[in-house]
Amino acid sequence: MARFQFNFAFIAFLITTITLTTNPRALSSDSESDSFSIIDFDSNLLFHQDYSPPSPPPPPPHPPSASCTDDLGGIGSIDTACQIVTDVNLTRDVYIEGKGDFYIHPGVRFHCPNFGCSITINISGNFNLSVNSSILTGTFELVANNASFFNGSVVNTTGLAGDPPPQTSGTPQGLEGAGGGHGGRGACCLMDKDKLPEDVWGGDAYSWSSLQEPCSYGSKGGSTSKEVDYGGGGGGRVKMTVKEYLVLDGAVLADGGSGGVKGGGGSGGSIHLKAYKM
Ligand SMILES: *[C@@H]1O[C@H](CO)[C@@H](O)[C@H](O)[C@H]1NC(C)=O
Ligand SMILES: *[C@@H]1O[C@H](CO)[C@@H](O)[C@H](O)[C@H]1NC(C)=O
Ligand SMILES: *[C@@H]1O[C@H](CO)[C@@H](O)[C@H](O)[C@H]1NC(C)=O
Ligand SMILES: *[C@@H]1O[C@H](CO)[C@@H](O)[C@H](O)[C@H]1NC(C)=O
Ligand SMILES: *[C@@H]1O[C@H](CO)[C@@H](O)[C@H](O)[C@H]1NC(C)=O
Ligand SMILES: *[C@@H]1O[C@H](CO)[C@@H](O)[C@H](O)[C@H]1NC(C)=O
Ligand SMILES: *[C@@H]1O[C@H](CO)[C@@H](O)[C@H](O)[C@H]1NC(C)=O
């Protein structure tokens, strides 16, 4: 009996496959009311058609490393041990490279609260984000030997995405307050039978990076107002490459920002963690 059902299901699958192969429109042929079908949208000019992005340009060369004392107000040197003991409020991208350790002390805020701001820490030694301390930025990249993120700590890139890749805006058009897009199209909660589906979809899909090495910002949500941009920001990007041990007792966030009641939410960004042991 079970075998019969299996065979029946298999034949049904074969028939479906053959039907689809010979008549691709079978999926979307029902009627116009069926027009939320993804297949219809692929042939729509409003939809970006190129889903195999060209390989990204090589990254620009690194700027010289920031200094532990002069640029970051810390104690020590990045080639031995740099300790951040007071809040750091950055206003632009920072690149930190050295042969030593980097410790952010308990409760310290290491922030660059601008859209698309980037903090890179590339050290041969160990990294600690201590109890209740936080890193807030659009992109956080860490290369370290050991890395420990203590209880109550947070790496927060929520809603701080920079610009989307050039292939797509990712951001919804119109003023329906739709959500941002990422791997797929964003959604819109507007119920309006007089509008075409393509007028109320959320943000376009985009993917600059691969699934194996995600490295895309989320996109912004739409607004409901021409004058004020209520859309939530896209989520940021986090990448950590840890040679030995990654101990994560804190939070790592790349959420889309909230659009409140007058805007769509942003879509989430990317988190990519790689370690010998986690
Ligand atoms: C950080 O700097 C920005 C821009 O200069 C400023 O708007 C913000 O209030 C500062 N935040 C803190 C906590 O000092
Ligand atoms: C880290 O620094 C090394 C050289 O010290 C460089 O080759 C590498 O590209 C850097 N990685 C990142 C992510 O910046
Ligand atoms: C950094 O974290 C490691 C591992 O949890 C711990 O053994 C070490 O004492 C910490 N160092 C500092 C300076 O916080
Ligand atoms: C961390 O924050 C929690 C909750 O706010 C607090 O109870 C705890 O005492 C803090 N720990 C340290 C070491 O500051
Ligand atoms: C990395 O962490 C592991 C586990 O705590 C420890 O055994 C090892 O000595 C650390 N490596 C360095 C270079 O601190
Ligand atoms: C981590 O922090 C939370 C809240 O700050 C607290 O409830 C929890 O007991 C802490 N866990 C450990 C292992 O310290
Ligand atoms: C993360 O950042 C967002 C936006 O700045 C903020 O609303 C949120 O409270 C932060 N989350 C944590 C856990 O710090």
What is the structure's pLDDT at 206? 56
Q: How many whole angstroms from 106 Cα to the centroid of ligand 4?
A: 9
- Cβ atoms of residues 216 and 163 within 8 Å: no
Residue 132 Cβ inside 6 Å of ligand 4? The answer reads yes
* The pLDDT value given to residue 205: 59
pLDDT value of residue 144:
98
Which atom number of ligand 2 is nearest to the Cα of residue 241? Answer: 13
Q: What is the pLDDT of residue 216?
A: 84
Q: Which residues does ligand 6 sit against, CB inside 6 Å?
A: 151-152
**Is there an atom of ligand 1 within 6 Å of 89 CB?**
yes
Atom of ligand 3 nearest to the CA of 128: 1
Tell me the average confidence (pLDDT) per consecutive run of 10 residues in the chain, 278 residues long: 42 37 38 40 46 67 91 97 97 96 98 96 98 98 98 97 73 66 63 63 60 80 79 91 98 91 83 96
The residue ranges of every structural domain in the chain are: 75-156
Nearest ligand to the CA of 129 is 3
How far apart are the CA of 147 and the centre of ligand 3, in A?
Answer: 9
91 lines ligand 1 (CB under 6 A): yes
How much is the pLDDT for 231?
82
In this prediction, residue 151 carries a pLDDT of: 97
User: How many angstroms does the Cα of residue 128 sit away from the middle of ligand 3?
Assistant: 6
